[in-house]
Structure 1
Amino acid sequence: MNLQVPDGFPNGSNLEQLLFRPDHGLQILVVPTTEEPVSQLLAQACDWVAAVGVGNDANKPQTLSLYGAQIVWNSLRATIIAPPEKTGPILLALTDFFLYDAALSEIETEIDDAWPHIKTDAAFAFEFSERAVPKRHELSKRFEHTVSMRARLARLAPHVHRLSTHPATITSQLNERLRERTRMVSRFEFLSSQLDVLENVYEMCGQRVSDFMLARQQIVLEWAIVFLLAAELLLLVTDLMASVGT
Protein backbone atom coordinates (compact mmCIF):
# COMPACT_ATOMS: atom_id res chain seq x y z
CA MET A 1 0.00 0.00 0.00
CA ASN A 2 1.52 3.32 -1.12
CA LEU A 3 1.28 6.35 1.17
CA GLN A 4 2.12 10.03 0.87
CA VAL A 5 5.86 10.70 1.03
CA PRO A 6 6.87 12.99 3.93
CA ASP A 7 7.89 16.55 3.05
CA GLY A 8 11.55 17.26 2.39
CA PHE A 9 12.46 14.06 0.57
CA PRO A 10 13.44 14.20 -3.13
CA ASN A 11 11.18 13.38 -6.06
CA GLY A 12 11.02 9.68 -6.85
CA SER A 13 10.83 8.70 -3.19
CA ASN A 14 8.20 6.13 -2.32
CA LEU A 15 6.49 5.23 0.96
CA GLU A 16 5.00 1.78 1.42
CA GLN A 17 3.05 0.12 4.23
CA LEU A 18 3.70 -3.53 5.02
CA LEU A 19 1.18 -5.32 7.24
CA PHE A 20 2.54 -8.35 9.07
CA ARG A 21 -0.66 -8.82 11.07
CA PRO A 22 -3.78 -6.64 11.59
CA ASP A 23 -2.33 -4.79 14.59
CA HIS A 24 1.27 -4.45 13.43
CA GLY A 25 2.88 -3.11 10.29
CA LEU A 26 5.95 -1.30 9.01
CA GLN A 27 6.27 1.84 6.90
CA ILE A 28 9.25 1.74 4.52
CA LEU A 29 10.41 4.95 2.85
CA VAL A 30 12.54 4.32 -0.24
CA VAL A 31 14.72 7.28 -1.27
CA PRO A 32 16.63 6.58 -4.51
CA THR A 33 19.49 9.07 -4.83
CA THR A 34 22.94 9.44 -6.36
CA GLU A 35 23.75 12.64 -4.49
CA GLU A 36 26.83 12.83 -2.28
CA PRO A 37 27.01 13.33 0.62
CA VAL A 38 23.71 12.02 1.96
CA SER A 39 24.18 13.36 5.48
CA GLN A 40 21.22 15.75 5.20
CA LEU A 41 18.92 13.01 3.89
CA LEU A 42 20.17 10.69 6.61
CA ALA A 43 19.35 13.26 9.30
CA GLN A 44 15.85 13.70 7.82
CA ALA A 45 15.38 9.93 7.76
CA CYS A 46 16.43 9.63 11.41
CA ASP A 47 13.95 12.35 12.39
CA TRP A 48 11.14 10.70 10.43
CA VAL A 49 11.81 7.24 11.89
CA ALA A 50 12.18 8.65 15.42
CA ALA A 51 8.81 10.41 15.17
CA VAL A 52 7.04 7.15 16.09
CA GLY A 53 7.61 5.16 19.25
CA VAL A 54 8.76 8.21 21.21
CA GLY A 55 9.72 7.28 24.78
CA ASN A 56 10.25 3.62 23.94
CA ASP A 57 13.94 2.68 23.94
CA ALA A 58 13.18 -0.31 21.72
CA ASN A 59 12.00 2.08 18.99
CA LYS A 60 15.06 4.32 18.91
CA PRO A 61 16.35 4.62 15.31
CA GLN A 62 19.22 2.37 14.29
CA THR A 63 21.43 3.03 11.27
CA LEU A 64 23.31 0.73 8.96
CA SER A 65 25.61 1.48 6.02
CA LEU A 66 26.19 -1.14 3.33
CA TYR A 67 27.44 -0.87 -0.26
CA GLY A 68 26.86 2.87 -0.33
CA ALA A 69 23.32 2.50 1.00
CA GLN A 70 22.09 4.02 4.24
CA ILE A 71 19.32 2.30 6.18
CA VAL A 72 17.53 3.73 9.22
CA TRP A 73 14.91 1.71 11.07
CA ASN A 74 13.01 0.87 14.20
CA SER A 75 10.17 -1.59 14.70
CA LEU A 76 7.61 0.73 13.08
CA ARG A 77 9.45 2.59 10.31
CA ALA A 78 12.43 2.15 7.99
CA THR A 79 14.14 4.33 5.41
CA ILE A 80 16.35 3.22 2.52
CA ILE A 81 18.69 5.82 1.02
CA ALA A 82 20.53 4.21 -1.87
CA PRO A 83 21.35 4.42 -5.57
CA PRO A 84 18.28 3.49 -7.67
CA GLU A 85 19.72 0.14 -8.82
CA LYS A 86 20.16 -1.01 -5.21
CA THR A 87 16.80 -0.01 -3.72
CA GLY A 88 15.02 -3.12 -5.06
CA PRO A 89 17.29 -5.75 -3.48
CA ILE A 90 17.50 -3.76 -0.24
CA LEU A 91 13.72 -3.42 -0.04
CA LEU A 92 13.40 -7.17 -0.62
CA ALA A 93 15.91 -7.91 2.17
CA LEU A 94 14.20 -5.53 4.60
CA THR A 95 10.78 -6.99 3.88
CA ASP A 96 12.09 -10.53 4.38
CA PHE A 97 13.88 -9.64 7.61
CA PHE A 98 11.06 -7.66 9.22
CA LEU A 99 8.54 -10.38 8.38
CA TYR A 100 10.41 -12.86 10.58
CA ASP A 101 11.44 -10.25 13.15
CA ALA A 102 7.76 -9.35 13.63
CA ALA A 103 6.89 -13.02 14.09
CA LEU A 104 9.65 -13.35 16.70
CA SER A 105 8.50 -10.18 18.47
CA GLU A 106 4.94 -11.52 18.58
CA ILE A 107 6.11 -14.66 20.39
CA GLU A 108 8.16 -12.50 22.78
CA THR A 109 5.06 -10.49 23.65
CA GLU A 110 2.93 -13.60 24.15
CA ILE A 111 5.52 -15.21 26.44
CA ASP A 112 5.77 -12.00 28.48
CA ASP A 113 1.98 -12.13 28.89
CA ALA A 114 2.02 -15.82 29.82
CA TRP A 115 4.88 -15.64 32.30
CA PRO A 116 2.95 -14.10 35.26
CA HIS A 117 0.65 -17.17 35.33
CA ILE A 118 3.54 -19.57 35.94
CA LYS A 119 3.84 -18.95 39.69
CA THR A 120 0.16 -19.80 40.28
CA ASP A 121 -0.06 -22.63 37.77
CA ALA A 122 3.14 -24.31 38.99
CA ALA A 123 1.29 -25.30 42.19
CA PHE A 124 -1.07 -27.46 40.11
CA ALA A 125 1.94 -29.30 38.68
CA PHE A 126 2.61 -30.58 42.22
CA GLU A 127 -0.93 -31.23 43.45
CA PHE A 128 -4.39 -31.06 41.89
CA SER A 129 -7.53 -31.16 44.04
CA GLU A 130 -11.30 -30.97 43.68
CA ARG A 131 -11.23 -27.20 44.25
CA ALA A 132 -8.92 -26.81 41.25
CA VAL A 133 -11.21 -28.61 38.79
CA PRO A 134 -12.66 -25.31 37.44
CA LYS A 135 -9.09 -24.38 36.40
CA ARG A 136 -8.78 -27.45 34.18
CA HIS A 137 -10.04 -25.75 31.00
CA GLU A 138 -7.82 -22.71 31.60
CA LEU A 139 -4.73 -24.88 32.10
CA SER A 140 -5.58 -26.79 28.94
CA LYS A 141 -5.81 -23.55 26.95
CA ARG A 142 -2.44 -22.37 28.25
CA PHE A 143 -0.83 -25.67 27.35
CA GLU A 144 -2.27 -25.46 23.83
CA HIS A 145 -1.01 -21.89 23.52
CA THR A 146 2.46 -22.98 24.66
CA VAL A 147 2.53 -25.74 22.04
CA SER A 148 1.40 -23.23 19.41
CA MET A 149 4.22 -20.84 20.33
CA ARG A 150 6.74 -23.69 20.21
CA ALA A 151 5.54 -24.69 16.74
CA ARG A 152 5.73 -21.12 15.46
CA LEU A 153 9.21 -20.69 16.91
CA ALA A 154 10.34 -23.93 15.27
CA ARG A 155 9.16 -22.65 11.90
CA LEU A 156 11.29 -19.53 12.37
CA ALA A 157 14.46 -21.54 13.07
CA PRO A 158 15.61 -21.90 9.42
CA HIS A 159 15.33 -18.13 8.93
CA VAL A 160 16.96 -17.17 12.24
CA HIS A 161 19.87 -19.58 11.71
CA ARG A 162 20.15 -18.92 7.99
CA LEU A 163 23.59 -19.80 6.64
CA SER A 164 25.67 -17.25 4.75
CA THR A 165 25.42 -17.54 0.97
CA HIS A 166 28.44 -17.68 -1.34
CA PRO A 167 29.05 -15.59 -3.26
CA ALA A 168 27.54 -12.98 -0.97
CA THR A 169 24.88 -10.64 -2.33
CA ILE A 170 23.65 -7.31 -1.03
CA THR A 171 20.41 -9.02 0.02
CA SER A 172 22.12 -11.82 1.96
CA GLN A 173 24.66 -9.51 3.59
CA LEU A 174 22.03 -7.00 4.65
CA ASN A 175 19.87 -9.76 6.11
CA GLU A 176 22.87 -11.12 8.02
CA ARG A 177 23.80 -7.68 9.36
CA LEU A 178 20.24 -6.99 10.46
CA ARG A 179 20.05 -10.31 12.30
CA GLU A 180 23.29 -9.46 14.09
CA ARG A 181 22.18 -5.94 15.02
CA THR A 182 18.86 -7.12 16.41
CA ARG A 183 20.43 -10.12 18.24
CA MET A 184 17.94 -12.39 16.54
CA VAL A 185 19.80 -15.63 17.30
CA SER A 186 20.15 -14.78 21.01
CA ARG A 187 16.49 -13.79 21.21
CA PHE A 188 15.49 -17.06 19.55
CA GLU A 189 17.53 -19.12 22.03
CA PHE A 190 16.15 -17.16 24.99
CA LEU A 191 12.58 -17.73 23.80
CA SER A 192 13.32 -21.43 23.37
CA SER A 193 14.56 -21.62 26.99
CA GLN A 194 11.46 -19.83 28.27
CA LEU A 195 9.21 -22.16 26.30
CA ASP A 196 11.03 -25.15 27.84
CA VAL A 197 9.94 -23.91 31.27
CA LEU A 198 6.36 -23.28 30.16
CA GLU A 199 6.13 -26.68 28.50
CA ASN A 200 7.48 -28.49 31.56
CA VAL A 201 5.04 -26.74 33.90
CA TYR A 202 1.96 -27.33 31.75
CA GLU A 203 2.92 -30.90 30.86
CA MET A 204 3.14 -31.67 34.59
CA CYS A 205 -0.15 -29.84 35.17
CA GLY A 206 -1.74 -31.94 32.45
CA GLN A 207 -0.43 -35.13 34.04
CA ARG A 208 -1.73 -34.14 37.49
CA VAL A 209 -5.13 -33.21 36.05
CA SER A 210 -5.31 -36.49 34.13
CA ASP A 211 -4.34 -38.52 37.21
CA PHE A 212 -6.87 -36.70 39.39
CA MET A 213 -9.76 -37.05 36.94
CA LEU A 214 -8.97 -40.74 36.43
CA ALA A 215 -8.83 -41.32 40.19
CA ARG A 216 -12.12 -39.48 40.63
CA GLN A 217 -13.77 -41.62 37.96
CA GLN A 218 -12.45 -44.75 39.64
CA ILE A 219 -13.90 -43.62 42.99
CA VAL A 220 -17.28 -42.94 41.38
CA LEU A 221 -17.17 -46.34 39.71
CA GLU A 222 -16.25 -48.05 42.99
CA TRP A 223 -19.14 -46.37 44.80
CA ALA A 224 -21.49 -47.34 41.99
CA ILE A 225 -20.39 -50.95 42.37
CA VAL A 226 -20.89 -50.73 46.15
CA PHE A 227 -24.43 -49.39 45.68
CA LEU A 228 -25.24 -52.08 43.13
CA LEU A 229 -23.95 -54.79 45.44
CA ALA A 230 -25.91 -53.29 48.34
CA ALA A 231 -29.05 -53.19 46.22
CA GLU A 232 -28.51 -56.78 45.14
CA LEU A 233 -27.95 -57.83 48.75
CA LEU A 234 -31.10 -56.01 49.80
CA LEU A 235 -33.09 -57.83 47.12
CA LEU A 236 -31.65 -61.17 48.24
CA VAL A 237 -32.53 -60.45 51.87
CA THR A 238 -36.03 -59.39 50.84
CA ASP A 239 -36.50 -62.58 48.82
CA LEU A 240 -35.14 -64.66 51.69
CA MET A 241 -37.47 -63.05 54.20
CA ALA A 242 -40.37 -63.55 51.84
CA SER A 243 -39.46 -67.23 51.47
CA VAL A 244 -39.21 -67.69 55.23
CA GLY A 245 -42.56 -66.00 55.71
CA THR A 246 -44.28 -68.38 53.34
Structure 2
Amino acid sequence: MLQTRVIIILLIVLNIFHETTAYIFDVNYSYKYSTKKTVYSSVFLQQNKKDFRFLAGAPKTDNILICNTTVCKSFAFSSQNEAGFEMLGAAIAAGNTVGDPTYICAPHYIVLPSFRINGRCFALHENFKPIYSLDNRLQQVKAYNGSYEFYYAQGQVGFSAKYVEDNEFLLGAPGVLSWKGTVIKHTDLNIKNILQPEKVAEKNSYLGYAIEFGEYYFGGRKRRCAIGGAPRGDNLLGQVSLI
Protein backbone atom coordinates (compact mmCIF):
# COMPACT_ATOMS: atom_id res chain seq x y z
CA MET A 1 0.00 0.00 0.00
CA LEU A 2 2.83 2.35 0.91
CA GLN A 3 4.59 1.56 -2.35
CA THR A 4 1.40 2.35 -4.30
CA ARG A 5 1.07 5.73 -2.54
CA VAL A 6 4.69 6.58 -3.30
CA ILE A 7 4.16 5.78 -6.97
CA ILE A 8 0.96 7.89 -7.10
CA ILE A 9 2.68 10.84 -5.38
CA LEU A 10 5.63 10.55 -7.74
CA LEU A 11 3.32 10.56 -10.75
CA ILE A 12 1.52 13.66 -9.42
CA VAL A 13 4.84 15.46 -8.87
CA LEU A 14 6.03 14.54 -12.36
CA ASN A 15 2.73 15.71 -13.83
CA ILE A 16 3.00 19.07 -12.02
CA PHE A 17 6.60 19.46 -13.16
CA HIS A 18 5.58 18.64 -16.73
CA GLU A 19 2.74 21.16 -16.70
CA THR A 20 4.83 23.95 -15.20
CA THR A 21 7.57 23.50 -17.78
CA ALA A 22 5.36 22.96 -20.80
CA TYR A 23 5.03 26.65 -21.70
CA ILE A 24 7.75 29.19 -22.34
CA PHE A 25 5.40 32.08 -23.18
CA ASP A 26 3.06 33.96 -20.87
CA VAL A 27 -0.14 34.09 -22.91
CA ASN A 28 -1.56 36.78 -20.61
CA TYR A 29 1.11 39.22 -21.75
CA SER A 30 1.21 38.60 -25.47
CA TYR A 31 0.69 40.77 -28.54
CA LYS A 32 -1.36 39.62 -31.47
CA TYR A 33 -0.83 40.90 -34.98
CA SER A 34 -3.04 39.83 -37.82
CA THR A 35 -4.37 40.96 -41.17
CA LYS A 36 -7.33 39.67 -43.12
CA LYS A 37 -5.89 38.91 -46.51
CA THR A 38 -2.19 38.33 -45.97
CA VAL A 39 -0.38 35.13 -45.05
CA TYR A 40 3.00 35.57 -43.35
CA SER A 41 5.54 32.79 -43.70
CA SER A 42 8.81 34.20 -42.35
CA VAL A 43 9.40 36.09 -39.10
CA PHE A 44 12.51 37.71 -37.63
CA LEU A 45 12.87 39.41 -34.23
CA GLN A 46 15.25 42.28 -33.48
CA GLN A 47 15.71 44.11 -30.19
CA ASN A 48 17.66 46.79 -28.38
CA LYS A 49 17.85 47.93 -24.75
CA LYS A 50 14.49 49.70 -24.79
CA ASP A 51 12.34 48.05 -27.41
CA PHE A 52 12.04 45.34 -30.02
CA ARG A 53 10.65 44.96 -33.48
CA PHE A 54 9.77 42.02 -35.64
CA LEU A 55 9.67 41.62 -39.38
CA ALA A 56 7.21 39.33 -41.11
CA GLY A 57 7.37 38.42 -44.76
CA ALA A 58 4.25 37.77 -46.82
CA PRO A 59 5.60 36.28 -50.05
CA LYS A 60 2.14 35.61 -51.46
CA THR A 61 1.50 39.36 -51.70
CA ASP A 62 5.10 40.69 -51.93
CA ASN A 63 4.60 42.44 -48.63
CA ILE A 64 6.71 43.09 -45.51
CA LEU A 65 5.28 43.90 -42.08
CA ILE A 66 7.48 45.70 -39.52
CA CYS A 67 6.05 46.01 -36.00
CA ASN A 68 6.92 47.02 -32.47
CA THR A 69 4.62 46.83 -29.45
CA THR A 70 2.47 49.76 -30.59
CA VAL A 71 2.70 50.25 -34.34
CA CYS A 72 2.78 48.05 -37.43
CA LYS A 73 3.90 49.31 -40.82
CA SER A 74 3.27 47.44 -44.02
CA PHE A 75 5.62 47.77 -46.97
CA ALA A 76 4.04 46.61 -50.22
CA PHE A 77 6.52 45.96 -52.98
CA SER A 78 5.57 47.25 -56.42
CA SER A 79 7.37 44.90 -58.75
CA GLN A 80 7.95 45.70 -62.40
CA ASN A 81 8.08 41.99 -63.01
CA GLU A 82 5.32 41.31 -65.52
CA ALA A 83 5.53 37.58 -64.91
CA GLY A 84 3.88 37.87 -61.50
CA PHE A 85 4.78 37.96 -57.84
CA GLU A 86 8.36 37.51 -56.66
CA MET A 87 7.65 35.92 -53.25
CA LEU A 88 9.26 38.88 -51.50
CA GLY A 89 9.77 38.07 -47.84
CA ALA A 90 10.15 34.32 -48.28
CA ALA A 91 13.47 34.67 -46.44
CA ILE A 92 14.74 37.35 -44.06
CA ALA A 93 18.36 37.67 -42.90
CA ALA A 94 19.28 40.27 -40.30
CA GLY A 95 21.30 41.04 -37.21
CA ASN A 96 19.68 40.59 -33.82
CA THR A 97 19.75 44.29 -32.92
CA VAL A 98 17.45 47.01 -34.24
CA GLY A 99 19.49 48.96 -36.77
CA ASP A 100 21.59 46.02 -37.93
CA PRO A 101 21.73 45.26 -41.67
CA THR A 102 18.53 43.59 -42.81
CA TYR A 103 18.09 41.69 -46.05
CA ILE A 104 14.82 40.62 -47.66
CA CYS A 105 14.76 38.03 -50.43
CA ALA A 106 12.43 37.25 -53.32
CA PRO A 107 13.37 33.81 -54.70
CA HIS A 108 10.74 33.83 -57.47
CA TYR A 109 12.03 36.94 -59.19
CA ILE A 110 11.70 36.15 -62.90
CA VAL A 111 13.79 37.70 -65.65
CA LEU A 112 11.86 38.35 -68.84
CA PRO A 113 11.53 37.51 -71.68
CA SER A 114 13.29 34.22 -70.95
CA PHE A 115 11.31 33.51 -67.75
CA ARG A 116 14.42 32.59 -65.78
CA ILE A 117 13.59 32.23 -62.08
CA ASN A 118 16.82 33.77 -60.81
CA GLY A 119 15.65 35.25 -57.52
CA ARG A 120 17.06 38.36 -55.87
CA CYS A 121 17.60 40.05 -52.50
CA PHE A 122 17.27 43.60 -51.19
CA ALA A 123 18.88 45.62 -48.41
CA LEU A 124 16.01 46.93 -46.28
CA HIS A 125 18.38 49.24 -44.39
CA GLU A 126 19.33 50.88 -47.71
CA ASN A 127 15.78 51.69 -48.85
CA PHE A 128 15.20 48.34 -50.53
CA LYS A 129 18.32 48.58 -52.65
CA PRO A 130 18.68 45.47 -54.87
CA ILE A 131 21.96 43.85 -53.87
CA TYR A 132 22.15 40.45 -55.50
CA SER A 133 20.56 38.30 -58.18
CA LEU A 134 21.53 35.31 -60.30
CA ASP A 135 20.68 37.22 -63.47
CA ASN A 136 24.16 37.08 -65.04
CA ARG A 137 23.40 36.26 -68.66
CA LEU A 138 26.64 34.33 -69.15
CA GLN A 139 25.87 31.94 -66.30
CA GLN A 140 22.33 30.88 -67.15
CA VAL A 141 23.22 27.69 -69.05
CA LYS A 142 26.48 25.73 -68.91
CA ALA A 143 28.00 22.64 -70.47
CA TYR A 144 28.14 19.90 -67.87
CA ASN A 145 28.94 16.20 -68.32
CA GLY A 146 28.55 16.37 -72.08
CA SER A 147 25.23 18.24 -72.13
CA TYR A 148 23.87 21.69 -71.44
CA GLU A 149 22.28 22.25 -68.05
CA PHE A 150 20.47 25.09 -66.37
CA TYR A 151 23.03 26.77 -64.14
CA TYR A 152 21.63 30.03 -62.77
CA ALA A 153 18.52 29.90 -64.97
CA GLN A 154 16.30 28.38 -62.26
CA GLY A 155 18.53 29.21 -59.28
CA GLN A 156 15.94 30.86 -56.99
CA VAL A 157 18.56 32.59 -54.87
CA GLY A 158 17.16 33.83 -51.57
CA PHE A 159 14.98 30.79 -50.98
CA SER A 160 16.77 30.76 -47.62
CA ALA A 161 19.06 33.34 -46.03
CA LYS A 162 21.19 33.67 -42.91
CA TYR A 163 22.91 36.77 -41.52
CA VAL A 164 26.44 36.14 -40.26
CA GLU A 165 28.01 39.44 -39.15
CA ASP A 166 28.65 42.98 -40.36
CA ASN A 167 27.50 42.96 -44.00
CA GLU A 168 28.10 39.26 -44.57
CA PHE A 169 25.26 36.84 -45.13
CA LEU A 170 24.54 33.47 -46.70
CA LEU A 171 22.01 32.73 -49.42
CA GLY A 172 20.50 29.43 -50.44
CA ALA A 173 19.90 28.82 -54.14
CA PRO A 174 18.35 25.34 -54.41
CA GLY A 175 17.73 25.54 -58.17
CA VAL A 176 21.33 26.08 -59.31
CA LEU A 177 22.70 23.49 -61.77
CA SER A 178 19.47 21.64 -62.50
CA TRP A 179 18.35 21.84 -58.87
CA LYS A 180 21.49 20.44 -57.32
CA GLY A 181 21.63 23.71 -55.44
CA THR A 182 24.32 25.71 -53.67
CA VAL A 183 25.05 28.09 -50.82
CA ILE A 184 26.40 31.55 -51.64
CA LYS A 185 28.34 33.87 -49.36
CA HIS A 186 27.74 37.57 -49.94
CA THR A 187 29.81 40.44 -48.54
CA ASP A 188 30.33 44.02 -49.64
CA LEU A 189 33.58 43.01 -51.35
CA ASN A 190 33.07 39.46 -52.49
CA ILE A 191 30.39 37.05 -53.73
CA LYS A 192 31.13 33.39 -54.18
CA ASN A 193 29.66 29.92 -54.06
CA ILE A 194 31.07 28.43 -50.88
CA LEU A 195 29.83 25.01 -51.89
CA GLN A 196 30.21 24.19 -55.56
CA PRO A 197 27.06 22.56 -56.97
CA GLU A 198 29.25 20.31 -59.14
CA LYS A 199 30.37 18.52 -55.97
CA VAL A 200 26.83 17.62 -54.94
CA ALA A 201 26.25 14.01 -55.95
CA GLU A 202 22.74 14.21 -57.34
CA LYS A 203 20.47 16.39 -59.36
CA ASN A 204 17.34 17.61 -57.63
CA SER A 205 19.01 17.64 -54.20
CA TYR A 206 17.79 21.22 -53.52
CA LEU A 207 20.88 22.14 -51.51
CA GLY A 208 20.30 25.58 -50.02
CA TYR A 209 16.65 24.90 -49.25
CA ALA A 210 17.60 25.76 -45.65
CA ILE A 211 20.70 27.39 -44.15
CA GLU A 212 22.14 27.72 -40.65
CA PHE A 213 25.38 29.19 -39.34
CA GLY A 214 27.25 28.89 -36.07
CA GLU A 215 30.52 28.39 -34.25
CA TYR A 216 31.40 24.83 -33.32
CA TYR A 217 34.27 22.98 -31.70
CA PHE A 218 36.11 20.36 -33.76
CA GLY A 219 39.24 18.72 -32.42
CA GLY A 220 39.51 21.30 -29.66
CA ARG A 221 39.33 24.21 -32.11
CA LYS A 222 36.55 26.72 -32.52
CA ARG A 223 35.42 26.96 -36.13
CA ARG A 224 32.82 28.93 -38.02
CA CYS A 225 30.61 26.66 -40.09
CA ALA A 226 27.64 26.96 -42.40
CA ILE A 227 25.14 24.16 -42.83
CA GLY A 228 23.09 23.71 -45.97
CA GLY A 229 20.04 21.48 -46.10
CA ALA A 230 19.29 19.33 -49.15
CA PRO A 231 15.87 17.73 -48.54
CA ARG A 232 16.01 15.55 -51.66
CA GLY A 233 19.67 14.53 -51.40
CA ASP A 234 21.01 11.03 -50.72
CA ASN A 235 18.42 9.27 -52.88
CA LEU A 236 15.53 11.35 -51.49
CA LEU A 237 16.43 10.55 -47.87
CA GLY A 238 17.68 14.10 -47.36
CA GLN A 239 21.09 15.30 -46.24
CA VAL A 240 22.95 18.29 -44.81
CA SER A 241 26.34 19.63 -45.85
CA LEU A 242 28.70 21.09 -43.26
CA ILE A 243 30.72 23.86 -44.86
Q: TM-score, normalised by structure 1?
A: 0.25
More RCO (CA 8 Å, sep 6+): 1
As a proportion of its length, which structure holds more strand?
Answer: 2
Structure in which a larger fraction of residues adopt helix = 1
- Higher-Rg structure is 1
